[in-house]
Structures are given as structure tokens and as C-alpha cells.
Amino acid sequence: MLQLILGGARSGKSRLAEKLATDSALAVTYIATSQPLDGEMSERVRHHRERRPAHWALIEEPIELARVLRENARADTCLLVDCLTLWLTNLLMLEDPQRLTAERDALLHCLADLPGEIVFVSNETGMGVVPLGELTRRYVDEAGWLHQALAERCQRVVLTVAGLPLTLKGTAL
């Protein structure tokens, strides 16, 4: 099953995804896309690490998400990807503008063939004002297009607000 958990900052989306991974009763591999490049991001990473069970496997991959999914997806495993918008940011910051398209397409094309459970976490950024800067507007557009494409492919899509899940597609939680 493919699941997409969306929400704003501190909406409870990661906590919900971690609960779904635990409830799957499968071995869990947490795929972290962040790059703790400053103190604030390092603190966020520390907070997430402390909350996760110690027996979960961890893969840190900021760019090649499709490759990591293909290499690690198994029928007896739940992969938890946190988060897609950080992954998208990493791609937008690369020197090669074609890399984002290649990595996004690779992700979308590999999903149908992956066994096991996969839970994606991503920030819903399209509910606010239109950003002023070109890069920020591109980020919001790319995130929106990615979310739409993933939502088509996922069996369950959930929007999390104030820690409460609102099921948009699939079986309610």
C-alpha cells in the first residue's frame, strides 16, 4: 500500500506516519531526506530521532529517493519517507536543473512495482499566499504537482491538521 500524509509544519504528519508504520507490524526502514545544514535543522533531526523506535533501520538519502526505494522495498517491510518537500528542496538547489525532473520521474515510475508498505510524508504548501521569490514560487508549484501525481498513485491520502487526520482518499483512519 502507498500512503501520502500531507500537512503543514508541526501539523502532526510525521507522528501519524510513524504510527502507521508501527501499526503495519512490519519491519520499518525510515528514509530521511533532510540535510541538517544548520543548527535549527539539526535540532529537528534530533527530535525525530528521539521519537523513533531504536530498532527501526535508517537510511539518509537527500537525492536518489527512487533508487533507495527500489533497493529497500520488500513485502515484509514498511518504508517511511520523511519528507518529500525536503527532498524536493535538495533537488531544486542542485546545479543541474534537469536532475529534479529525472529524479521525480524515476520516483513516480517506480511506485507501481514496489512491494510492501510505503508511507510518504510531505508539507502541504499550496494553502497559503503566493510567495514573492521565483525559487519559492517554483518550489510551491513543484510540490503541488508532485503531490497531485503521488495522490493519483497512492491508495490512501491523508491531510493532517492540528494533529487530526482527515482522509482525502482511501480507507479512513
Instruction: Please indicate if the annotation marks 8 as binding a ligand.
Output: yes
Asked if residue 154 has a cis previous peptide bond (ω within 30° of 0), the answer is no
Length of the chain (residues): 173
Provide the grid cell at 167.
482522509
Residue 18 is assigned to a ligand binding site: no
Q: Any catalytic annotation for residue 109?
A: no
Task: Determine whether the annotation assigns residue 82 to a binding site.
Answer: yes
- Whether 49 has a binding-site annotation, put simply, is yes
Is 10 annotated for ligand binding? yes
Find out whether 61 is annotated in a ligand binding site.
no
Catalytic-labelled residue, pool 48, 55, 109, 147: 48
Q: Are 26 and 116 in contact (CB under 8 A)?
A: yes
Please check if 14 is assigned to a binding site.
yes
Q: Would you name the residues annotated as active-site residues?
A: 48
State the binding site for GTP: 7-14, 32-34, 49-52, 60, 82
